[in-house]
Structure 1
Amino acid sequence: MIDASSAVLAAASSGPSVLSQLFGSGLIGVREGLETGIVVMILVAFLVKSDRRDSLKWVWTGVAIAVVMVLAVFAGIHYGTSTISGLAAEAVAGVASLVAVVIVTLMVLWMRGAAAHISGDLKAGMGRALELGAPAVLALSFLAVGREGLETALLMVGYAENTSGSSWPLVGLLIGVVIAVAITIGLYFGTVRINLQKFFTYTGAFLVVVAAGILAYGIRAIQTVGWLPGLNTRAFDFSSVYDQSSWYGTLLGGIFNFRPDPTLLQVIGWVIYLAVVMTLFFRPRRPQSSSPSPAETSKVETPAA
């Protein structure tokens, strides 16, 4: 087992670049891990309150299979592409980044609209699955967790592509997931209370900004390959006064993929993406008489509650 104190000391001695990777990926791990944990908690709480504890083993089996699948997808893409070099590596990194941006954007926007009724949907789905039998319960938990996990895996692939094979983003992700598990357990037993609506709103906005940086990185990678023009057309360049190896340079570069000499196409893509997605993310939701109030959507019903 890795000594946590040794890992922290190693991170600190390696400079702000490592710390920025740990912070960015750790926050992603907390956000995505808590989202996944709440899904599992709803399913478990429904079975406990329905006196169907005999089906819990199928839920945990589905969760375990989903976790293994997500780890395999991440390892296959991230470490599989680390053996590629030159323009081929740029092409793979660019395509992977753009795919990650698309998937993460769709999932963030979907979660924004589905948060108000996701608990009811999961409970209704579990009710139908119980009628069909154990395979249906396993499949429901697998799909529910696998969907969230694939989002995390793709986001991390895009996020970590510019770290030259560094494992620190993965370490940060694992730390974030551990924190999310602890928070989820606290929510389940009623020892932790947080406003989930605000939490997912703030972290969702953060993910959109991270995705914008991944998009800019992907655009430049594809420009390097020659699939997009304008590699030598700079929007601005203040490299002479901006030290990328400084604490602020490594922090902004590690979390948001910022660089002082972006191409014009990178800046255009970054601005348009943020303008469109942030507008969609923060647009007022249409009031629905059947939807719970914002205070209610921030709570999750558990046996302890």
Structure 2
Amino acid sequence: MKRLLLLLALLGVASAAPGQVDVAAELRTAHDLVAQSLREYASGQREAAFKTARAAYLDHFEYAEPPLRVLNPDLILEMEYRFADLRNGMKSGANLSELRAVAGDIDGSLRKAESIVNGTGVLAPTLAATGGFTILFREGLEAALLMAAILAYLASTRNDRLRRGVWWGAGAALAATALTWAAATYLLSIAPISRELISAVTSVIAVVILFYLSFWMLQQGDRKRSAEFMRARVSQAVQSGSLGAVALVTFTTIYREGFETVLFYQALAVASGPVQGYMYLGVALAALALVAVFAALFRLGRRLPTQQLFPALVTVTALFAVAFVGNGVRAFQEAGWLPVTNLYGRVPTLDPNVAALTGLHPTVETLAAQGLMVLVYVIGFAVLRARERRPSRTGAPV
């Protein structure tokens, strides 16, 4: 049974990472580098020791993580923090005896790694599927509403000939989105920087966009101004009488949503890790739901209760932002750019896959960043509500 589990885990790694990964060899190399880092530290080469310890984790242990994380997530989580303790101790000049104790814990865990037999649970796949569904559905719904608005404007001008330009532009935007996803995946795989730094930067950009979208969706005035701007662009394209101009307006409008979708999925794919397949299941379900939405909008001519959907979309968008903040800080920590103050063993810890999808990692820095993000959201929502309740001076009855 153990051999079967290990074989399945190895097959999973082979399909998830470029090339064939020899898990046992990566674990042995990580063990040897930990020992080498202690020798370098003992000889006074602190900078070299830190780099060697970091290489043991980033360049070797991380490649062995996927199957081990699936089989025993608790042990892998503990090892991640022990590696962080080793790096932090070397950077801060800790006593050699303390570092030897940490290294001993790491070595013992490395020896146990080949006999891991646990699974991933249910919550992580559920979160991954929910995330996959929500991102595509939110962005797809926004694109559908924008297309409906453009087609409605063309119908008001009774210029049916230009409707083909809308569908051409939308089709080109979908194709460009698919190419963007493929290009982003390839470029990130060959980027000359660490995977952790890539994950951190992607998370930061995603957080900024999600934060903007959260408050934009709550402000009716901003949505109206955006719709007016879009109608003005469509009006200019219609006046030109060119199918290409209408297609270009539609393309730029829809592709913006597609680009955001690619960015969010890149961040979510990293967080999903071994349960990434469930993320794609959520994507497939969202695609089916969007087919129904498009049919209701363009075939049946029905109006959707989008106003009632905004609170739910805002809530989910805010939760994504909080999760990505935690993951971004954690990625900066793993890359050695931020300190790590471990709370492992002092606060309840989640399954590593759940922690990656929620951003809830047991360090002071990640939890503080998420707490600050929640506080910013609370203050921002309170300010918006106060503005909405404030009576308008210009609109007062005479």
Q: Report TM bin, short chain.
A: 0.7 to 0.9
Relative to structure 1, the CA distance from residue 204 to residue 78 in structure 2 (aligned partners, 3 Å threshold; closer, same or farther) is farther
- The 1-side partners of 2:350 and 2:375 are apart by 28
Partner of 2:365: 265
Aligned counterparts, 1:3-82, within 5 A: 16=122, 17-78=124-185, 80-82=187-189
Report if aligned partners of 2:326, 2:370 keep a CA contact under 8 Å in 1. yes
Give, in angstroms, the shift of residue 95 of structure 1: 1.1
- The 1-side partners of 2:139 and 2:294 are apart by 12
1:122 correspondence with 2:230: yes
1:178 correspondence with 2:278: no
Percent identical residues: 22
Partner of 1:256: 358
Report if aligned partners of 2:360, 2:367 keep a CA contact under 8 Å in 1. no
Give, in angstroms, the shift of residue 258 of structure 1: 2.9
Q: Which has the higher contact order (CA 8 A, sep 6+)?
A: 1
1:201 correspondence with 2:201: no
Relative to structure 1, the CA distance from residue 243 to residue 258 in structure 2 (aligned partners, 3 Å threshold; closer, same or farther) is closer
Relative to structure 1, the CA distance from residue 38 to residue 205 in structure 2 (aligned partners, 3 Å threshold; closer, same or farther) is same
Aligned match for 1:226, one of 331, 336, 339: 336
Relative to structure 1, the CA distance from residue 255 to residue 223 in structure 2 (aligned partners, 3 Å threshold; closer, same or farther) is closer
Aligned match for 2:244, one of 135, 155, 162: 135
Relative to structure 1, the CA distance from residue 26 to residue 239 in structure 2 (aligned partners, 3 Å threshold; closer, same or farther) is farther
1:104 correspondence with 2:210: yes
- The 1-side partners of 2:346 and 2:138 are apart by 33
Give, in angstroms, the shift of residue 26 of structure 1: 0.5
- The 2-side partners of 1:290 and 1:63 are apart by 40
One-letter code aligned to 1:155: F
Relative to structure 1, the CA distance from residue 83 to residue 257 in structure 2 (aligned partners, 3 Å threshold; closer, same or farther) is farther
One-letter code aligned to 1:223: Q
Give, in angstroms, the shift of residue 254 of structure 1: 6.2
- In the superposition, the TM-score normalised over structure 2's length comes to 0.59
Report if aligned partners of 1:63, 1:145 keep a CA contact under 8 Å in 2. yes
Give, in angstroms, the shift of residue 176 of structure 1: 1.0
- The 2-side partners of 1:67 and 1:278 are apart by 35
Relative to structure 1, the CA distance from residue 191 to residue 267 in structure 2 (aligned partners, 3 Å threshold; closer, same or farther) is same
Relative to structure 1, the CA distance from residue 76 to residue 174 in structure 2 (aligned partners, 3 Å threshold; closer, same or farther) is farther
Q: Which structure shows the bigger proportion of residues in helix conformation?
A: 2
- The 1-side partners of 2:393 and 2:246 are apart by 31
Partner of 2:374: 274
Instruction: Tell me the SS of whatever aligns to 2:170.
Output: helix
Report if aligned partners of 2:271, 2:357 keep a CA contact under 8 Å in 1. no
Determine which structure has more spread, i.e. the larger CA radius of gyration: 2
Report if aligned partners of 2:137, 2:286 keep a CA contact under 8 Å in 1. yes
- The 1-side partners of 2:169 and 2:138 are apart by 21
- The 2-side partners of 1:172 and 1:32 are apart by 14
Deviations along 1:3-48, whole A, 9 cap, x unmatched?
Answer: xxxxxxxxxx985233321122102222221111111111122223
- The 2-side partners of 1:104 and 1:50 are apart by 35
- The 1-side partners of 2:180 and 2:394 are apart by 38
Report if aligned partners of 2:234, 2:246 keep a CA contact under 8 Å in 1. yes
Report if aligned partners of 2:173, 2:254 keep a CA contact under 8 Å in 1. yes
Give, in angstroms, the shift of residue 270 of structure 1: 0.8
Deviations along 1:195-221, whole A, 9 cap, x unmatched?
Answer: 312312221221111111111101111
- In the superposition, the TM-score normalised over structure 1's length comes to 0.75
Partner of 1:213: 323
- The 2-side partners of 1:64 and 1:178 are apart by 18
- The 2-side partners of 1:138 and 1:192 are apart by 24
- The 1-side partners of 2:139 and 2:208 are apart by 16
- The 2-side partners of 1:218 and 1:77 are apart by 18
